[in-house]
C-alpha cells in the first residue's frame, strides 16, 4: 500500500513503497500499449501541471497519464500565469486548490519548492523536478525500465556519468537504485562530483574506462552547458573526449548493458549518435515508461491509493 499524500522525492521512500509504485505501473503499461488507451479510473479528478521551467517529456507524459486515466488536466506555465504579475508560489498553489485541483504537479528551479506547496495545500503534490534536488518520477521510470528489461534491480552495477553535482536526476537515481539493492557508481569531472557520496554507499570514479567495467546499466546525464560558462569543465570537446559515451567505451561495459539518458540529449557531447540510437539504448523506452509510471503515481495519490486524511 502507498499511503502518502505527496511524492516529493525518493529519499523519503522505502524500498517497499518504490516497489508498490513500480508494480502498479505494470498494468498501466498494458493500458498504454492498447489501441484505445483509456480507463475511467480518475474520472472527475483534476490534475494541474504547474511548470516554472521548460519541459518536453515530464509535462507531456503527466498530461497524457492524466488523460489516459480520464482525469481532467490543465497546464500552467509561469510565463503565461499571474506569476508574471508577482503572485507567489504559495498563493498560486492555494488558488489552484480553490479551483478544484486534486493533484498539483510542480516543476520549479528552487530546491524544496514542492515541499513548501505540499504544506500549503491539502491536495496531492508531485515533484516534477526541483532545482538540483530531486526528480523522483524520472528515477521511477528509470527503475521501471531496468526492472522490465532485467527482471530485477538488486545486484546490478549501475553507472551514472556526468554532472552529478547539479543533477536532480542523479540524486533521485542514487536513492532509488541503492534502496533497491543495486551497486551504484558515479563518474565525472572532479568539479562536478559532490562530496560525501561514499558515505551513501556510492563508488566514485573520475575515469570512464574504470567506471564502465562490467556495467549493467549506464545512465548518461545531460551536460548543462551553463556549467561550462561557470568554468566547471574546460569545453564541450574536452568533455566529450573524457566523459562522452561512444562505441569504444561502451564495449568496456557488460555485453547486454543498457544505455539510458533522461533527455534532452546533446548528441556528440555526452553521448555519440550511434550509441544513442544503437541496440543498447533504451532511451525511447524510458520516455514510454514515463507515462506508465506517472499513471501509477496519479492512481495511487488520487485514486485507489489516496489516504489523505490518514496522513494529515
Residues that bind ligand CP (CB under 6 A): 55-58, 129, 138, 262-264
Of 60 and 81, CB closest to ligand CP: 60
CB of 219 to ligand CP, least distance (A): 11
The distance of closest approach from Cβ of residue 49 to ligand CP in the complex, given in angstroms and rounded to an integer, is 11
CB of 271 to ligand CP, least distance (A): 14
Residue 260 has φ and ψ, to the nearest 5°, of: -125, 155
Q: Considering the complex, what minimum distance in angstroms separates the CB of residue 132 from ligand CP? A: 13
Q: How far apart are CA 89 and CA 227, in angstroms?
A: 27
Q: Which residue has the cell 561495459?
A: 253
Tell me whether residue 41 or residue 266 sits nearer to ligand CP (CB atom): 266
Q: Which is nearer to ligand CP, 101 or 219 (CB)?
A: 219
Give the C-alpha separation, 307 to 2, whole Å.
Answer: 9
DSSP state of 3: -
Close Cβ partners of 287 (under 8 Å, ≥ 6 residues apart): 57, 61, 263
Residue 43's nearest CA partner among 93, 98, 102 is 102
Supply φ then ψ for residue 183, to 5 degrees: -90, 120
Rounded Cα gap, residues 225 and 158, in angstroms: 25
- For residue 307, the minimal CB distance to ligand CP (Å) is 28
Residue 43 DSSP code: T
Considering the complex, what minimum distance in angstroms separates the CB of residue 52 from ligand CP?
12
Distance separating alpha carbons of residues 243 and 212, to the nearest angstrom: 11
Smallest distance from ligand CP to CB 297, Å: 15
> Residues 175, 260, 174, CA angle at the centre, nearest 5°?
10
Nearer to ligand CP, 58 or 272 (CB): 58
Nearest to 270 by CA among 195, 193, 210, 189: 189
Query: Is there a contact between 74 and 51 (Cβ–Cβ < 8 Å)?
Result: no
For ligand CP, give the closer residue by CB, 41 or 127: 127
- Shortest separation between residue 142's beta carbon and ligand CP, angstroms: 10
> Of 210, 203, 237, which is closest to residue 223 (Cα–Cα)?
237
Nearer to ligand CP, 48 or 306 (CB): 48
Q: Which is nearer to ligand CP, 41 or 137 (CB)?
A: 137
CA gap 179, 142 in Å, rounded: 14
Find, among 94, 137, 83, 87, the residue nearest to 118 by Cα.
94
Give the nearer residue to ligand CP in terms of CB position, either 138 or 145. Answer: 138
Amino acid at each position: 500500500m502507498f499511503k502518502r499524500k505527496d511524492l516529493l522525492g525518493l529519499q523519503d521512500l522505502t524500498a517497499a513503497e518504490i516497489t508498490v509504485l513500480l508494480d502498479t505501473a505494470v498494468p498501466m503499461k498494458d493500458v498504454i500499449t492498447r489501441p484505445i488507451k483509456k480507463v475511467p479510473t480518475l474520472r472527475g479528478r483534476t490534475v494541474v501541471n504547474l511548470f516554472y521551467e521548460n519541459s518536453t517529456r515530464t509535462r507531456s507524459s503527466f498530461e497524457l497519464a492524466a488523460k489516459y486515466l480520464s482525469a481532467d488536466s490543465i497546464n500552467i506555465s509561469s510565463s503565461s500565469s499571474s506569476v508574471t504579475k508577482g503572485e507567489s508560489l504559495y498563493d498560486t498553489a492555494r488558488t489552484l486548490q480553490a479551483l478544484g485541483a486534486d493533484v498539483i504537479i510542480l516543476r520549479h528551479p528552487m530546491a524544496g519548492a514542492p515541499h513548501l506547496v505540499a504544506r500549503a495545500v491539502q491536495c496531492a503534490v508531485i515533484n516534477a523536478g526541483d532545482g538540483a534536488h530531486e526528480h523522483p518520477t524520472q528515477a521511477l521510470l528509470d527503475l521501471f525500465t531496468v526492472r522490465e528489461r532485467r527482471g530485477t534491480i538488486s545486484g546490478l552495477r549501475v553507472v551514472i556519468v556526468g554532472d552529478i553535482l547539479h543533477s536532480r536526476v542523479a540524486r533521485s537515481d542514487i536513492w532509488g537504485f541503492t534502496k533497491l539493492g543495486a551497486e551504484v557508481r558515479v563518474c565525472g569531472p572532479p568539479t562536478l562530483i559532490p562530496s560525501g557520496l561514499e558515505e551513501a554507499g556510492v563508488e566514485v570514479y573520475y575515469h570512464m574506462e574504470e567506471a564502465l567495467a562490467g556495467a549493467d546499466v549506464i545512465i548518461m546525464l545531460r551536460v548543462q552547458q551553463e556549467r561550462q560558462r561557470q568554468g566547471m569543465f574546460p569545453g564541450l570537446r574536452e568533455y566529450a573526449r573524457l566523459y562522452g559515451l561512444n562505441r569504444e567505451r561502451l564495449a568496456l561495459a557488460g555485453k547486454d548493458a543498457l544505455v539510458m539518458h533522461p533527455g534532452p540529449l546533446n548528441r556528440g557531447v555526452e553521448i555519440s549518435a550511434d550509441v544513442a540510437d544503437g541496440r543498447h539504448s533504451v532511451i525511447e523506452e524510458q520516455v514510454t515508461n514515463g507515462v506508465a509510471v506517472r499513471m501509477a503515481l496519479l492512481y495511487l495519490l488520487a485514486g485507489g491509493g489516496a489516504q489523505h486524511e490518514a496522513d494529515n
